[in-house]
Each structure stands twice: as C-alpha cells, then as structure tokens.
C-alpha cells in the first residue's frame, strides 16, 4: 500500500510541467547541477581524441535535461566505484554515467530510467568460426569489467547454460574496465569478453574487422540516472523533464544520433516501475 501511494504521488509530480520552476530552490540558487560521470564508455560517454571534449549519448541527454530545467551541468570525472559514496556525501548531485538500475543499488539510490541495456558476448573477428553461439564460450576465458554487474550476471548465465547442461563453466576474468578487456582480447589472453549491448555496435563500427558480436544480450536491465534517496524533488524534476523530452521528440533525436533507437523506453520508469 505504501508503494502504491508513492507511485500515485510520483505520477502527479511527473505529470506537471518541467520548467525551471520545478527545480528545487537549492539548485536554482547554485545555478548548476554537479553530475558524476566517467567518460570511458563510448558511445555513452567519452572524450573526443582531438579536442578532449565530452561526447556521447549520456552527455547529450543530460545537457538537454538541464536546458529543460533551466540550469547548467558541471561534470565531475569520478571513478565508477566512488560514485555512490560521492552522491551520498554531497560531492555530486546525481550520477549519469551508464549505470544499471539494479535492485541492490536501490537500497541507497533512486533511479530515473532512460534506456534499455543488456550484457552481451563478443570476441575477436579472427575467431568467428570458433564462437558462433554464446555456449561456445563454456570452459573458455571471458573478461569483463569487475566494476560492473557483468561478472555476477555471467556467472549466473554460466550456471544455467554451461554447468547446467553438463559443460565446463565460464572462466570469468574481472578486468579494470571495458578497454582493458578489449586489450587483453587483442593480446590473446582472453577468448572472449562481455560488454553492454548499447556499446558493441559502436565498437564494431569503430574498429572494423576487429570484433564480432556473439548472440543476443543475455540480460535485460534499465540504465538510470541515479539520485540520493533524500533528494526526491530533484528526482521528480528530472522525471518530468524526461517526459517532456519524450513528448517533444528530443529524446528520440538523441538516441537516433547514436543509432540506439532500439534502446529507447516507451515511458517514464522510476526504480524499474512504470509511472503513468
């Protein structure tokens, strides 16, 4: 019952017009919102090699949301593992950096979800004949960022699809990030790797004839903008602004720019729950 009342109240807030008037006073006075982001996950967030300018879907969407709310963004480059503590200590106001909205994270954070994602296998193009389906990785060494949920998700997938079918388990290697996994794959230290489905088409296009995607995503999650549980007013202001971007077509335009229309959501979701 408590959850039902909370969703009703939230629906009312999201249904309102998202102007600068909807922004909490503290952020109006500051004239900015400090956003945690680590630009190492193209095409979601990265730096242009020539100009060092921040680029990516998350960057464009956040700037569009800020404009709708009548404020500006101050980007704070923070390691992924420090982001939650940074928001809880007030160093940043929110996190917008390819973060999955996972149930265990909702103990300390609230999420305004904005896209679909999933973990997906890939390998070197030179080994395409060895790995035609995901189960061909059973018993093989597969790398993925240890800072993400991928190692746990891959272990669960392996238990069902490898060990559960009488095959050897995945040999999961936690790497220092997706770039490290790719480097180890090129060096032959890994047989395959796992990365977010939203990033792999960009990667394959960027380094042609280097990688191949194997199978469909084996998980389904939402990516979300993360807020302190104490900052429900800012969360609701962002949800309302996102709703306006969806209605105006600006949301779709951002996703189309990066060829990720299939990752768009059909409405507003808070902590994985639809808000009408």
* 46 and 93 fall within a common domain: yes
* 18 and 105 fall within a common domain: yes
* 202 and 230 fall within a common domain: no
Identify the weakest region by mean pLDDT among 2-11, 23-32, 113-122, 194-203.
2-11
**How many structural domains comprise the chain?**
2
* 149 and 255 fall within a common domain: no
* 10 and 146 fall within a common domain: no
Query: Residues 76, 36: contact at Cβ < 8 Å?
Result: yes
CA distance 245 to 61: 9
Query: Residues 240, 270: contact at Cβ < 8 Å?
Result: no
* 241 and 110 fall within a common domain: yes
CA distance 244 to 18: 7
Final residue in a domain of this structure, among 170, 194, 214: 214
Question: Tens digits of per-residue pLDDT, 145-156?
Answer: 998 889 999 999
Domain that holds residue 31: 2-116+223-275
* 90 and 149 fall within a common domain: no
Asked whether the whole model's pTM tops 0.75, one would answer: yes
Q: Where residue 132 sits, what CATH number does that domain have?
A: 3.40.190.10
Question: Tens digits of per-residue pLDDT, 228-240?
Answer: 999 999 999 999 9
* 6 and 111 fall within a common domain: yes
> CA angle, corner 124, sides to 123 and 128, nearest 5?
80
> What is the average pLDDT across 174-191?
94
Question: Tens digits of per-residue pLDDT, 108-128?
Answer: 999 999 999 999 999 999 999
Query: How many CB atoms are located within 10 Å of the residue 183 CB?
Result: 15
* 266 and 175 fall within a common domain: no
Is the pLDDT reported for residue 168 higher than 60? yes
């Amino acid at each position: 019952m408590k959850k039902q009342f909370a969703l009703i109240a939230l629906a009312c807030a999201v249904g309102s017009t998202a102007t600068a008037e909807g922004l909490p006073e503290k952020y109006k006075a500051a004239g900015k919102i400090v956003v945690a982001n680590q630009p190492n996950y193209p095409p979601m967030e990265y730096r242009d090699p020539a100009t060092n300018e921040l680029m990516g879907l998350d960057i464009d969407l956040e700037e569009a949301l800020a404009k709708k709310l009548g404020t500006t963004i101050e980007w704070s480059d923070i390691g992924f593992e420090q982001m939650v503590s940074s928001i809880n200590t007030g160093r940043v106001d929110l996190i917008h950096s390819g973060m999955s909205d996972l149930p265990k994270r909702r103990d300390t954070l609230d999420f305004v979800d904005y896209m679909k994602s999933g973990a997906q296998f890939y390998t070197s193009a030179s080994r395409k004949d060895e790995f035609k389906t995901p189960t061909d990785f059973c018993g093989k060494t597969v790398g993925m960022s240890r800072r993400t949920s991928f190692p746990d998700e891959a272990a669960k997938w392996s238990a069902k699809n490898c060990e559960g079918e009488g095959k050897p388990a995945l040999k999961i290697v936690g790497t220092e990030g997706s770039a490290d996994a790719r480097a180890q794959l090129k060096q032959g230290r890994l047989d395959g790797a796992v990365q977010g489905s939203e990033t792999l088409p960009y990667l394959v296009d960027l380094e042609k004839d280097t990688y191949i995607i194997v199978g469909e995503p084996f998980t389904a999650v939402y990516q979300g903008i993360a807020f302190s549980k104490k900052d429900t007013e800012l969360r609701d202001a962002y949800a309302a602004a996102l709703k306006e971007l969806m209605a105006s077509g600006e949301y779709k335009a951002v996703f189309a720019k990066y060829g990720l229309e299939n990752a768009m959501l059909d409405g507003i979701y808070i902590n994985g729950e639809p808000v009408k």
